[in-house]
Amino acid sequence: MSTTNSIKQAAEAARNKTSEAMNATKQIADTAKADPIAAKNDFLHTPFMRAALPFINGGTAGMVATTVIQPIDMIKVRLQLAGEGARTGPKPTPISVTREILAQGKVMDLYTGLSAGLLRQAVYTTARLGFFDTFMKSLTVRAKEKGNQIGFKERAAAGLSAGGLAAMIGNPADLALIRMQSDGLKPAAQRKNYKSVIDALSSIAKSEGVGALWAGAAPTVVRAMALNFGQLAFFSEAKQRLKDTSMSARSQTLTASAVAGFFASFFSLPFDFVKTRLQKQQRAPDGSLPYKGMMDCFKKVARDEGLLRFYRGFSTYYVRIAPHAMVTLIVADYLGFITK
């Protein structure tokens, strides 16, 4: 009898809980209908969304910027791969490279590798800006507890750490992007003609092993750390310096983005150059590779092509980095504003 009563009590309690949950759900739905903006704000202020938003905003901003900048990135990669192993010879320019690409196909060839670029941003920029924002919030809280303000040193540390972590996660997509963009430089018989980033990743993994997806990881990580140091640390510092000026908020963001783009380009281009060379290389029939690693590539390029080769295409790189930084940071700033 007591067992029957216990079951009845449990069933009654379960019914009550279900009824309470349904009433609560109905109340939330009614509130959302009556005031959708308030409902949206309540959702955005849940602990999960507050932690996720920096990553979501960062990835969205990076993908928008990549869609705008992809043709310039394509030209930059072709410039870095031109004249490999030779100190002398014709010097390609952004205009000559663009003409060559257009002569071989269609205008849309400049968007070769866009799917890989978008995947890279979805992974790399999501992690990069998300980690940076998270680190900065943590450092700000710690500094306030000590009665201090965070300075350039803390911003630089946050930028370097965020860049390094994100680059390791995003290396496979970055490798696929370089392979897709450099495929057109090979003789027609040797081209892989990748259909998409998934096709490129699976093809590389099958033919060269899964480990090959992290080829060039060392310079990729160092490049990302250098780029983040230049971009995020200098952007944050420049915005702080411009805050008390008469410039409008939009002008401050644009100016800080341009400053950040220059320093990001200057610090990261040599590592970007080496990363491109390492990720493009494939084994010869005897199993050998042109470069054994990052330092070997630096040494061979400096010896065979000259030190200035590392800065070939600086103007194109800056035109790729600065607008990308500006679009990314402006979109991220705007998304941060509307979701705060």
Whether 239 maps to a domain, the answer reads yes
Weakest-pLDDT range from 79-88, 249-258, 288-297: 79-88
Q: Per residue in 246-262, pLDDT tens?
A: 888 888 888 888 888 88
| Cβ atoms of residues 281 and 293 within 8 Å | no
pLDDT of residue 3: 47
Domains: count for the chain? 1
**Cα–Cα distance for residue pair 99/88, rounded to 1 Å:** 22
Residue 277 lies in domain: 217-305
Its pTM stands at: 0.61
Whether 45 maps to a domain, the answer reads no
Q: What is the residue type of 44?
A: L
Nearest to 113 by CA among 87, 74, 156, 169: 74
Whether 10 maps to a domain, the answer reads no
**Cα–Cα distance for residue pair 317/121, rounded to 1 Å:** 17
Whether 73 maps to a domain, the answer reads no
Whether 142 maps to a domain, the answer reads no
Whether 9 maps to a domain, the answer reads no
Residue 296 in this model has a pLDDT that exceeds 90: yes
Whether 294 maps to a domain, the answer reads yes
Share of the chain above pLDDT 90, in %: 7
Q: Per residue in 102-161, pLDDT tens?
A: 887 767 778 888 888 888 888 888 888 888 888 998 999 988 888 888 888 888 888 888
**Cα–Cα distance for residue pair 279/174, rounded to 1 Å:** 9
Whether 210 maps to a domain, the answer reads no
Residue linked to tokens 């090959």:
212
**Cα–Cα distance for residue pair 102/274, rounded to 1 Å:** 26
Residue 43 in this model has a pLDDT that exceeds 70: no
Start-to-end CA span in the chain (Å): 57
pLDDT of residue 177: 86
